[in-house]
């Protein structure tokens, strides 16, 4: 698949979309003739940036588990974070026009960077390890989740306007975030051995730096010709033009939304809360947890990236029947990972890793295909809200999955290895 910068093929000298018979097709996205490589790269970066805080929390849970052994970190952190995002998204779906894309993104990424500094600092003070510090940490995580909801919703709304290809590139960035955060966590853990306090500070400072880079990439996006279209889209909405109805969008995309919900319900129920309960005598517990997280992130990234190449412009996308079979079929991993945690049936270290490879790859692949197909099914003026709707079903799945996992972890706090 050849990538070519073709911005001038799509826009005129003033930044307006060129008129053509194809551009007038109401189902076409605003960038549909050829790939705008600059925009594609920026969408990858933005996809990386919005997930970075959550991934940073996940990869530091080995440290927080030691710091707060009396609390179930592997379940409570995702539960709090996803609950905050869910509430935000329900608000966002109801009031998609409450603020402009520009304001939400600039505030959101700036806030991310600030939180990435505050969380480790709180846990380096004299109150570290106390219930007070734990509550403050949870409040900071909750605030991050709220902002994540606005930033994530905005990114997918923008991608929905641009076209399915750019949603796929955003998904590639989401997968890339998991890879980068594993590398930075490994570097910080190896570079600063011992109690881990300063290693975690180093890790979060690296995360803050990467998030600031993502902020700068969005600022650069605002300088490109496409920015005029995005700003105009926000301005049109703020002028109280006729509200776009959600019902026809749901009718056109409900099957994709249901798949999206189930994909992430299963994924969040199993990972990290169940998977990271698997124990082994063949590796140090902290490094085994990082190995499992690295495996998940790597193959999730591969799964998210492959559709960019095998389904360009929505070509050769599998049928709904195939997608449903794959989506429902992943439920078998609930039984497989429970067997890994609570029995000796799969007692070799390789088994959970093999299961996790398949589990994470199918998560990444299905997510990319399903999320990108949603906006394709509706007219151009509905694509932004369709992107928000698809992301809302994703968040609802993640939230309910984290709730079920939290209940499970409360009832079954220990593995039986």
Q: Structure tokens of 71?
A: 């609390």
Q: Where are the domains of the chain?
A: 31-411
Describe the chain by its helix, strand, coil percentages, rounded to 5. Answer: 75, 0, 25
Task: Let me know how long the chain is.
Answer: 417
What's the pLDDT tens digit per position in 327-384?
Answer: 999 999 999 999 999 888 998 889 999 999 999 999 999 999 999 898 888 887 888 8
| Crossing angle (nearest 10°) for helices 320-329 and 247-270 | 30
Report the C-alpha dihedral over residues 258, 246, 161, 321, rounded to 10 degrees: 30
pLDDT number for residue 335: 96
Contact 153, 124 (CB under 8 A): no
Backbone angles phi, psi at 17, to 5 degrees: -70, 130
Full-model pTM: 0.78
pLDDT number for residue 185: 86
pLDDT number for residue 13: 43
pLDDT number for residue 233: 58
The CATH class, in words, for 31-411 is mainly alpha
Contact 300, 175 (CB under 8 A): yes
Q: Give how far Cα 240 sits from Cα of 233, 234, 235, 365, Å.
A: 12, 10, 9, 38
Q: How far is CA 256 from the centre of its chain?
A: 17
pLDDT number for residue 156: 86
pLDDT number for residue 100: 82
pLDDT number for residue 4: 41
- Ranges of the chain whose pLDDT falls below 50: 1-24, 416-417
What distance in Å separates the CA atoms of residue 89 and residue 363, rounded to the nearest whole number?
A: 21
47 Cβ contact list (under 8 Å, min separation 6): 155, 169, 170, 171, 172, 173, 174, 176, 177
What's the pLDDT tens digit per position in 227-249?
Answer: 777 666 555 555 555 567 888 99
Contact 296, 392 (CB under 8 A): no
Q: How many CB atoms are closer than 10 A to CB 330?
A: 19
pLDDT number for residue 92: 75
pLDDT number for residue 329: 97
Does residue 285 come out as left (phi exceeding 0), alpha (psi in the -120 to 50 range) or beta?
alpha
pLDDT number for residue 404: 92
What distance in Å separates the CA atoms of residue 177 and residue 359, rounded to the nearest whole number?
A: 18
């Amino acid at each position: 698949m050849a990538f070519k910068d073709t911005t001038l093929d799509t826009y005129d000298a003033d930044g307006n979309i060129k008129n053509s018979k194809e551009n007038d097709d109401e189902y076409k996205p605003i960038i549909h003739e050829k790939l705008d490589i600059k925009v594609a790269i920026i969408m990858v970066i933005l996809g990386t940036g919005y997930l970075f805080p959550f991934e940073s929390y996940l990869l530091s849970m080995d440290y927080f588990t030691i710091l707060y052994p009396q609390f179930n970190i592997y379940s409570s952190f995702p539960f709090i974070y996803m609950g905050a995002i869910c509430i935000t998204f329900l608000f966002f779906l109801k009031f998609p026009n409450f603020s402009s894309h520009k304001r939400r993104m600039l505030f959101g990424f700036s806030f991310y960077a600030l939180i990435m500094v505050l969380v480790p600092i709180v846990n380096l003070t004299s109150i570290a390890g106390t219930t007070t510090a734990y509550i403050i940490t949870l409040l900071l995580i909750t605030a991050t989740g709220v902002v994540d909801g606005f930033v994530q919703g905005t990114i997918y709304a923008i991608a929905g306007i641009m076209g399915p290809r750019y949603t796929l590139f955003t998904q590639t960035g989401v997968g890339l975030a998991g890879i980068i955060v594993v590398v930075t966590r490994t570097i910080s853990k190896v570079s600063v051995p011992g109690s881990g306090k300063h290693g975690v500070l180093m890790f979060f400072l690296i995360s803050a730096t990467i998030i600031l880079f993502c902020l700068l990439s969005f600022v650069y996006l605002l300088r490109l010709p496409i920015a005029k279209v995005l700003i105009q889209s926000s301005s049109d909405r703020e002028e109280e033009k006729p509200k776009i109805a959600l019902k026809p969008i749901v009718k056109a995309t409900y099957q994709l939304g249901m798949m999206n919900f189930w994909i992430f319900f299963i994924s969040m129920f199993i990972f990290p809360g169940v998977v990271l309960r698997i124990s082994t005598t063949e590796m140090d517990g902290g490094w085994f947890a990082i190995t499992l997280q690295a495996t998940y992130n790597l193959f999730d990234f591969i799964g998210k990236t492959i559709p960019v190449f095998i389904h360009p412009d929505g070509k050769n996308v599998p049928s709904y029947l195939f997608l449903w079979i794959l989506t429902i079929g992943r439920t078998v991993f609930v039984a497989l990972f429970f067997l890994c945690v609570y029995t000796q049936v799969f007692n070799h270290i390789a088994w959970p890793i093999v299961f996790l490879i398949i589990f994470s790859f199918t998560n990444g692949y299905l997510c990319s295909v399903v999320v990108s197909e949603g906006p394709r099914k509706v007219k151009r003026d509905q694509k932004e809200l369709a992107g928000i709707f698809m992301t809302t079903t994703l968040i609802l799945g993640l939230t309910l999955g984290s709730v079920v996992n939290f209940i499970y972890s409360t009832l079954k706090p220990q593995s039986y290895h």
